[in-house]
Amino acid sequence: MTSEITLSVASSGADAIDADALVLGVYSSSEGASLAPSFLSAQTVEGLEAVLEDLGISGAADQVYRLPGVEDSAAKIVVLTGLGERSEDAATRANALRYGVGSAARQLAGCENIVVAVPTEDVDDVAAVAEGIAFGAFTDSQLKEKSAEKVKAPVSSAVIITDVEADAASSALERALILGEAVHHTRVLVNTPPSHLYPETFAQQAIERVKDLDDVSVRVFEPEELEAEGFGGIMGVGKGSSRGPRFVEVKYAPQDASTSVALVGKGITFDSGGLSIKPGAAMMTMKCDMAGAASVLNAVAAVAELGLPIGATAYLCLAENMPSGTATRPEDVLTMRGGTTVEVLNTDAEGRLVMADGLAYASEQNFDVVLDVATLTGAQMIALGTRTSAVMGDDAIRQQIVDAAEAAGEDFWPMPLPAHLRPALDSQVADLKNIGSRFGGMLSAGIFLKEFVGSTDEGQIPWAHLDIASPAFNEESAFGFTPKEGTGQSVPTLVKFLETRAGN
């Protein structure tokens, strides 16, 4: 799939570019707001700055104001977007540009063409601006029929004014479009209702997503094969539904790959809690419980489109967790891939069961690194809130995820896996039970998953667990480049991690 938005750069003639909107930046400070440098004349800048205080424009994040056009530009309106406090730190500056311009692009739905004139000191700044536009230019009408015309179309064309040469910026623009498409596709999958997205159709979506990409192959494990191959976790979670589970392998294997990474994604297409049924209100966001699988699918697709010299394989652990006469019962024991037995004490702790199978299978394939991504625990929301994801696991890989997230403009916080929580997972009748102490539930879930990460002669395979439970689905107001509902969170971080591993 290709993005419908077009991105370009220009270093001169900005005043003559016909556009619906000219986006300018505003800095905040203790002395008041000020316009960020642009191509506008000193007289125009003075006029705009004269009204900032009266209009309550402070330069804070997510402040986006529309004003009438100015003589220095052919754009119909001027849009002022907050960039926060000016910073000399490159990463901080890039993240502020990505967020601020992304917020403007999101809020300018209905405007077809925009010109963006914010300070860009180098290619990294241009990349951040381009990514903000690509992430923010998104709307999703989904299954609207009679009311579809009420959904404003996203921005479809953007020109970035910069002194960075077009040739130097071209790869950054192309990367932004690829990354934007991966984020958009993830959001759409997450937003798709469970009546339309279930294991079988998700597998079909995965095939469709990568069918035109070089060096990418797909294998779908049907229920009969899962049963025969010992995927007891996926089968155990999925057997309560009339729509059977699937396990999907999406493999990108370029000939010049010097290293390989497995990405295991939780794909519960709807989570009722099973026989440990959730309260009705708690089910109302459970179409998002497959966000991990959507993220790893699109991260691999993006890496393939970028042509990175790294092997990357997504494993989608797909099941629908429903109560029925065939559903797994509390106190049932499941035999997972690899032979570990698990006593199921809470069928609403199902994500770790399907992920255990995925991790065990990935561990058999001789990857250099294994990551797993999941909307795994409500404890993540309690510990870190709605916008910060957690990462646990091998110290080195955990830090690499944190660094990748910072560079990508996302927020991941390193969390421990305390050894004293491990005994609470011991079962009287099986190797493990699927829940531990009621305290530190996010950490206990990570410790459970670690049990299924394989080892080599050098020790356990380097691994990290990403819990994106709340950040993957925005139940509150839109912010920055992030819409309501599906966010695409973790895709930029995964791609940046894989780029770094590939030496790019």
Query: Which is catalytic among the residues 243, 352, 398, 501?
Result: 352
Distance of alpha carbon 383 from the chain centroid: 19
Q: Counting every residue, how long is the chain?
A: 504
Find the helix packing angle between 199-210 and 291-306, rounded to 10°. Answer: 10
**CB-count exposure of residue 330 (10 Å: 0-12, 13-18, 19+):** middle
What are the E-state strand segments in 203-272? 216-221, 246-252, 260-271
The residue assigned the tokens 């410790």 is 447
Q: Where are the alpha helices (DSSP H) in 261-394?
A: 291-306, 351-363, 378-384
Give the span between the Cα atoms of 241 and 199, in whole angstroms.
10
What are the E-state strand segments in 162-239? 216-221
Which letter, b or e, does each residue of 33-71 get, where b requires 16 or more Cβ atoms within 10 Å of its Cβ?
A: bbbbebbbeeebbeebeeebeeeebbbebbbbbeeeebe
Give the span between the Cα atoms of 113 and 154, in whole angstroms.
10
Confirm if 303 and 493 have CB atoms less than 8 A apart.
no
From the list 294, 208, 306, 323, the residue with the least C-alpha distance to 252 is 306
The residue type at 323: P
Query: Which is catalytic among the residues 278, 387, 422, 484?
Result: 278
Is residue 394 marked as binding? Answer: no
The residue assigned the tokens 């440098």 is 37
The reply to whether 278 belongs to the active site is yes
The reply to whether 211 belongs to the active site is no
Q: Which two tokens stand for residue 429?
A: 């009748």
The residue type at 240: G
- The partner residues of 246 in beta bridges, in order of sequence, read 318
Give the span between the Cα atoms of 128 and 406, in whole angstroms.
12
Find the helix packing angle between 166-191 and 199-210, rounded to 10°. Answer: 160
Is residue 271 marked as binding? Answer: yes
Confirm if 399 and 414 have CB atoms less than 8 A apart.
yes
Q: Residue 429 has what DSSP assignment?
A: S
Is residue 266 marked as binding? Answer: yes
Give the span between the Cα atoms of 275 and 345, in whole angstroms.
11
Give the span between the Cα atoms of 68 and 66, in whole angstroms.
7
The residue type at 257: A
Number of CB atoms found within 10 A of residue 285's CB:
15
- The partner residues of 320 in beta bridges, in order of sequence, read 270
Is residue 372 marked as binding? Answer: no
Q: Which residues are annotated as a binding site?
A: 266, 271, 289, 348, 350
Q: Active-site residue numbers?
A: 278, 352
Q: Which residues are annotated as a binding site for Mn(2+)?
A: 266, 271, 289, 348, 350
